Structure 1
């Protein structure tokens, strides 16, 4: 028999429980039923708060953003390059705390305005550095999309319960690409040393922003 929860059930509590469970199940295995079991309630109780799984993912992403805002996003460095780099490093670190964290975070709609103050602060920093409003927004969104995309790929090729102990099998990949030696050798660069790869790619993105957007009129 399912017990009645003694702690008030609200959207934030459900989202936090879902994020905890995500590390065990992955995104594909995360269901409202599994979350209800973890919360010790009947599944229909969750539908008072979330009409479907996408609504739950929106709240989970919002909870992740709340944590990011408290942790690192709210006080950017006056140097826009330092600020943008630090923000993207922090974003990646938070996404990596959760299995399939980047997939959960991407394509969702925030359910509150926890993102607004940090975004405003970073856009202001870019503006004070000479970016017009349009290019400032494009600069932020370009770095943001690079980070989200990188972590999606990173998490899909690293070891996990559904990917084996070694993650992406580079030896098998190289064998399939034997007739294409450059493409085969590129696997080590693309699918190993994720920390270094992220940093080098982020540096290229930030440098490119500095060349193409800082003096743009938008």
Structure 2
């Protein structure tokens, strides 16, 4: 029975089903039904749902990083950019885009672990942008880790507002969760808490602009505190 499927087919099916049913609805039993096998067949490959989520997160990162690593090497375009600022902006923007392409992608990715070493090459390339610019390795790691965690947190919040998977430019106004009706929010709390009411339009209005502004704040903070010659 186990020979009818392999890990890659299970993960590809799980990622496809994720877009239909979301994280809460994704079960090994449901995946097995989609693959037309009995649920125990999946346990040859994954002992539990968490192991499957780890592999799904790894595949998400693998798909994103393969595009970057294709630009490494002699004569290839440098997709990470020439500077550490470029590296942070490009990688975080690409990670956000990849995760938004999967329903609950941020939640799936958060708290999981990589199941192979496919992350090592792109991470090494990113960190080299920092160390080549004079950062110590610990400071380079702190800079990347801060921006990385910011990106995942933002995606989780974004996918609460727009649960449907897809790139930012594919969002449909009608797919916005009614709980994030900004006019209604302002009517409910505006008289008593006017600043909090208006803040909602910044939090949940233009999500692309909000992400970019936050990332620029992080880049400026890294430059001011960790970059060579910064005051610390």
User: Taking structure 2 as the reference length, what is the TM-score of the superposition?
Assistant: 0.85
Q: Give the deviation of 1:48 after TM superposition.
A: 1.3
The farther-off stretch of 173-182 and 132-141 is 173-182
1:15/1:59 contact within 8 Å kept: yes
Instruction: Give distance in 1, aligned partners of 2:121 and 2:52.
Output: 23
Q: Give the deviation of 1:38 after TM superposition.
A: 1.0
User: Taking structure 1 as reference, are residues 125 and 18 closer, same or farther at Cα in structure 2, changes over 3 Å only?
Assistant: same
Instruction: Give distance in 2, aligned partners of 1:122 and 1:114.
Output: 14
Q: Among 49, 53, 56, which residue is 2:52 paired with? A: 56
1:26/1:100 contact within 8 Å kept: yes
User: Taking structure 1 as reference, are residues 19 and 217 closer, same or farther at Cα in structure 2, changes over 3 Å only?
Assistant: farther
Instruction: Give distance in 1, aligned partners of 2:4 and 2:211.
Output: 41
2:198 pairs with 1:188 = no
2:182 pairs with 1:170 = yes
Match of 2:213 in 1: 200
2:132 pairs with 1:89 = no
SS at match of 1:214: coil
2:154/2:211 contact within 8 Å kept: yes
Matches within 5 A, 1:88-127: 88-127=92-131
Q: Give the deviation of 1:78 after TM superposition.
A: 2.4
Instruction: Give distance in 1, aligned partners of 2:94 and 2:102.
Output: 14
Match of 1:136 in 2: 140
Long gaps (5+) in structure 1: none
SS at match of 1:141: helix
Instruction: Give distance in 2, aligned partners of 1:146 and 1:68.
Output: 18
How many positions carry a matched residue from both structures? 212
SS at match of 1:108: coil
Q: Give the deviation of 1:124 after TM superposition.
A: 1.2
1:132/1:217 contact within 8 Å kept: no
Match of 2:77 in 1: none
Match of 2:12 in 1: 16
SS at match of 2:86: helix
Match of 2:157 in 1: 153
What is the CA deviation profile of residues 112-131 of structure 1, one whole-angstrom value per residue up to 9, with x for unaligned ones?
00000110111111100111
Q: Give the deviation of 1:73 after TM superposition.
A: 5.6
SS at match of 2:5: coil
